[in-house]
Structure 1
Amino acid sequence: MQPPTLRDVAELAGVHAATASRALNPSTRRLVNSETAKRVLKAAETLGYQPNPIARSLKTARSTTVGVVIPDLTNPLFPPIVRGIEDGLAAAGYNAWLVNTDNDPRREQAQIESLVSRQVEGLIVATARREHPLLERLHEQHKPMVQVNRRVDDLDVPAVAADDAAGIELAVRHLVELGHTRIAHLAGPETTSTGVARARAFRHAVRDLGVDDDPALVARCSQWSEAEGARALGELLDARLGFTGVVAGNDLQALGCYDVFAERGIDCPRDLSVVGFNDMPFLDKLRPPLTTVRVPHYELGTEAARLLLESIHDPDRHARSVLLPPTLVVRQSTGPAPKRSVDRRPRRDR
């Protein structure tokens, strides 16, 4: 038995095939009388009709697909962003094709080239580095694109991200209000806009709030990872810098701090307080539950989808950036500053 065709739907609904096609496409449904559209949709449902996206793209030169480029699918930060993107696109009849780069530039290039060869109408990219020749070339080729969470320096492409400066200020202010005067920062990679922006915001916040602005208290991590967070905190403790609070560049780095606490017998928050950034899932299950800056990840995704659809339908529209406000989620990993700092060596050294 042959599957039902568009012509079958049109005949059952009593309309021309072109009218049925417009009614079945969310992006053109507004061109059809609402009662007629309902009749066509009902006919399609009755027959079990499924549109053929390949045939439609050949006819309209539009694939109604968007490529979404993610650096690390194992990072819990990204699933809610992707969910927001999918929901934002679905309302306009678009679908997302997702690729994972593993933070490997060669893999990223191959994945993006594959998406472009499949005629995606635009890209939502979460892998941006501050210098990113591939994205710059795509921009020069007029490929609609939106950056999400990170951005390329001096690239005139729409972007949506959390307000990093506001989030770091919330974290530092929280520790200052608890009496901490020497606060360390685990900074993200200098190759990423988020790493640079959060480190800069940290230095501004400690100055503005009148606590110790000691450059030695900023430890740079080469990756947004638990292992790098543990390494950086260990080095700060070995340097005996006398700090009582830590603002991590992201939650994964904060998780690395927990590894160091266990290794060195440090009680958090009695000996050392720590704040993360992002509010990944399940942080409330840690012991102690992690205080962190909450980023509206789902909304980042929906806003990225909206900006990309605007770029697709209005290519001459001026590129603009959107910053979404973060909030502080206070849990049990932060507490009053101890009277004396703790700089414990690993237990194996004692």
Structure 2
Amino acid sequence: MTTTSDTRGARRITIREVAAASAVNISTVSRVLNPATRHLIGDEVVHRVLAAAKSLGYRQNRLAAALRGGRSRVIGVCLPDIENPVFPPIVCGIEEALAAEGYGVLISNIAGKPKDQERLIEQMLERQVDGLVLATAARQDPLVQRCLRDGIAVVLVNRGIDCGQAPEVVNDDFLSMRLAVDHLVRLGHTRIAHLAGPARLATGLSRLQGFQIAAQQHGVTGSVVVEAAEFTREAGRAACEQLLDAHRDVTAIIAANDLIALGCYDVFAARRIACPGAISLIGHNDMLLVDMLNPPLTTLRIQHREMGRQAARLLLGRIATPDASPLRVTLPPELMIRGSTAAPRAIASSHKR
């Protein structure tokens, strides 16, 4: 018995074959297949070439193109925790802005020890990425320093570094904390706690500093800070337990992110603490589904998708002009007031009388 198969699957279709099928020369096909030069060719020819390429099953050899022209048109995106709901909208924004310029995205979950992180970055670079968007940066980050030292185009997103030598797109964390403290003070809270993120990360430190400045401006002398070990639900749970064991008179908590706030919900449920009746709670990020919690979480909405778009644009600018001064884009947050904040019990009771 004999069998037949599609020979196209056994070998790579060449640009010469696409040119023959669409009755144009090879240079025209090359221009059509490159999004940066496609506008130079008439619409009818573009349609004919793309249709022929699709019909033949042609796939561009990105690596070969990178070796010939020095560009792969692929960007590496490094995330610290791919399961964290904060990062998908950032990646969507990055992909959206890059796709418009004909770039693809390679995503890696950079976690573990510094040596493991270095290995993953090397794998990205071995695949000839044109640049990196890092959401992984610590305040003093050897990987960022390595990129800067070796001339690798890099942009930081959601987190920055202390030296300010790399372009970055971040949230205005000082404004976030001011909005949160303003809201609680207006409700009548004077015993306000901040469950801070780890100070080794710029987001942990800047939100802590923003909280301290806002509390001082309002004359809130009863403010308390407990640092969570990580930006995770488990770390939030541990920090909240530590806080409530030491400071029973706290009436409001501002969490450094929504995952830490989720840890607070766990503690409230275990200890039968009414929220917001006994303690009000504010998160940070407005990640997906926090409006479905009981009570719905009051939180700071961060422009994560726009953050991704801006990071992609900065990186493309960095690739085009490597020697340009690093830019810092700061995006304003918005306070989303929901059911987890209310007046302290004493004030609420006096209003009822």
Q: TM-score, normalised by structure 1?
A: 0.91
Contact 2:66/2:128 (CA < 8 Å) preserved in 1? Answer: no
* Structure-1 separation of matches of 2:257 and 2:205: 13
| CA separation of 1:103 and 1:177: change in aligned 2, threshold 3 A | farther
Alpha-carbon distance between aligned partners in 2 of 1:209 and 1:42, rounded to the nearest angstrom = 65
User: Residues 136 and 155 of structure 1 are in contact (CA less than 8 Å); yes or no, is this contact kept in structure 2?
Assistant: no
The 2-side partners of 1:231 and 1:221 are apart by: 7
Counterpart of 1:271, as a letter, is A
Shift of 1:134: 2.2
Corresponding residue for residue 191 of structure 1? 200
* d(CA) in 1 for partners of 2:294, 2:140: 38
168-177 or 34-43: bigger deviation: 34-43
**1:93 is aligned to 2:90:** no
* Structure 2 unaligned regions, length at least 5: 1-6, 349-353
Q: 1:103: Cα distance to partner?
A: 4.7
Aligned equivalents of 2:314, 2:222: Cα separation in 1 = 38
Task: Could you tell me which runs of 5 or more consecutive residues in structure 1 were left unpaired when the two chains were aligned.
Answer: 342-350
Shift of 1:77: 0.9
Aligned to 2:141: 132
Separation of aligned partners in 2, 1:340 and 1:171:
19
Q: How many pairs are equivalent? A: 339
1:249 lines up with 2:256 in the alignment: yes
Read off the aligned partner of 2:30 and give its amino acid letter: S
Q: Partner of 2:226: helix, strand, or coil?
A: strand
User: How far apart are residue 208 of structure 1 and its match?
Assistant: 1.8
| Structure 2 CA distance for aligned equivalents of residues 300 and 43 of structure 1 | 38
Residue 77, structure 1, aligned to residue 86, structure 2: yes
3-state SS, counterpart of residue 319 of structure 1: coil
1:276–1:291 CA contact under 8 A, matched in 2: yes
- Provide the TM-score with structure 2 as the length reference: 0.90
- Residue in structure 1 matching 2:303, options 296, 307, 313: 296
Say whether 1:7 aligns with 2:12.
no
Q: Distance in 2 between matches of 1:22 and 1:58?
A: 17
Question: For 2:54 and 2:270, how far apart are their aligned partners in 1?
Answer: 61
Structure 1 CA distance, aligned partners of 2:148 and 2:171?
23
Specify whether residues 32 and 213 from structure 1 end up closer, same or farther in structure 2 by C-alpha distance, changes over 3 A only.
farther
Within-5 A mapping of 1:4-43 = 4-43=13-52
Q: Is the 8 A contact 2:188 2:347 kept in 1?
A: no
Alpha-carbon distance in 1 for matches of 2:64, 2:149? 29
Residue 115, structure 1, aligned to residue 95, structure 2: no
How far off is 1:34 after superposition? Answer: 4.9
Amino acid paired to 2:304: H
Indicate conservation of the 8 Å contact 1:198/1:249, yes or no. yes
Any idea what SS the aligned residue of 2:77 has? strand
Q: Distance in 1 between matches of 2:111 and 2:346?
A: 43
Q: What is the CA RMSD across the aligned residues, in angstroms?
A: 1.9
Helix, strand or coil: the match of 1:339? helix
Using the TM superposition, name which of 183-192 and 22-31 deviates more: 22-31
- Take 2:288 and 2:19, find their aligned partners in 1: how far apart are those partners? 47
User: What is the match of residue 227 of structure 1?
Assistant: 234
Deviation per CA, 1:89-140: give whole Å up to 9, x if none: 1111111111112353222111001111221110100110011122102101
CA displacement 1:11-39 (0-9 Å, x = unmatched): 34433212211111112223445554344
Q: Is residue 104 of structure 2 the alignment partner of residue 68 of structure 1?
A: no
Q: Which of 143, 148, 155 does residue 146 from structure 1 map onto?
A: 155
Taking the aligned partners of 1:33 and 1:167, their CA distance within structure 2 comes to: 50
AA aligned to 1:205 is A
State the partner residue of 1:305.
312
Contact 1:183 1:212 in 2 (8 A): no
Which of 49, 71, 81 does residue 58 from structure 2 map onto?
49
Of 282, 287, 293, the residue aligned with 1:275 is: 282
2:95–2:104: 8 Å Cα contact kept in structure 1?
yes
CA distance in 1, matches of 2:47, 2:314: 29
* Partner-residue secondary structure (3-state), 1:167: helix
| Identical positions, percent | 46
Does residue 182 in structure 1 map to residue 183 in structure 2? no
Per mean C-alpha deviation after superposition, the further-off stretch among 316-325 and 190-199 is 316-325
Spell out, residue by residue over 1:155-211, the C-alpha distance to the aligned partner (whole angstroms, 9 max, x if none): 411100111111111111111111112210011111000000000000111122332
CA distance in 2, matches of 1:29, 1:314: 23
- The equivalent of 2:3 in structure 1 is none
CA contact (8 A) 2:197 2:205 kept: yes
Counterpart of 1:347 in structure 2 is none
Contact 2:190 2:222 in 1 (8 A): no
CA distance in 2, matches of 1:92, 1:171: 38
Partner SS state of residue 346, structure 2: coil
Distance in 1, matches of 2:202 and 2:112, equals 15
The runs of 4+ residues in structure 1 deviating greater than 6 Å are none
